[in-house]
Copies of this chain bind each other. A is one copy, B any other.
Amino acid sequence: MTDEQKKFMQLAIDLSRQGMQAGHGGPFGCVIVKDGEVIGKGFNSVAGTNDPTAHAEVVAIRDACNRLQSFQLEDCEIYTSCEPCPMCVGAIYWARPARVFYANTRKGAADAGFDDDFIYEELKLPTNERSIPMIHSHTDDAQRVFQEWIDMENKTLY
């Protein structure tokens, strides 16, 4: 990482400490950078907002997308204090930034008491073998809605 990139990573780490100390949630922070400027930031706010999706990366992605008024983070870099959990990796893929830098690893997160690695393993299982059962129930009308989407004109793809 360049010195500038190290500076952005330190900002993410500072946010992780700040959010943790204030009781917003776990020790995780994130900043999003475009053209050398911070356009989004967040720390884990699960406990503070009663929102299980309020991980640092998700909070920062929402913040940056709101600022850009776009659901795409084209040419952006994400700096996060820890390797993203599967939820956050998914959020990153949907937002499509250029790259992600992370400091702590999922192994470190597991040692600190966070389930990331467990969720990575669960995702590899067929839905009906997961510890939270996910039960497929085919419904003709749901399939029809997909066909209506395929046939729809002037839709926004994402």
Which residues on A are within 8 Å of B, measured CB to CB? 1, 9-10, 13, 16-17, 20, 23, 25-27, 46-47, 50-53, 55, 58, 61-62, 65-66, 68-73, 81-105, 108-109, 111-113, 115, 118-120, 122-124, 127, 132-139, 141-143, 145-146, 148-150, 152, 155-158
Given contacts A9-B142, A102-B127, A113-B157, 12 further A-B contacts (CB under 8 A): A9-B139, A13-B141, A13-B142, A23-B156, A81-B142, A82-B146, A87-B87, A97-B132, A103-B137, A104-B142, A109-B146, A112-B146
The smallest beta-carbon distance between A28 and chain B, in angstroms, is: 9
With both beta carbons as reference points, the residue of chain B lying nearest to A45 in the complex is identified as B71
B85:A69 contact, CB within 8 angstroms = no
A142:B82 contact, CB within 8 angstroms = yes
B72:A61 contact, CB within 8 angstroms = no
A93:B50 contact, CB within 8 angstroms = no
A38 vs B135: C-alpha distance in the bound complex, in angstroms?
Answer: 19
The smallest beta-carbon distance between A40 and chain B, in angstroms, is: 12
Q: Which residues of B are found within 8 Å of A25, using beta-carbon distances?
A: 156, 158
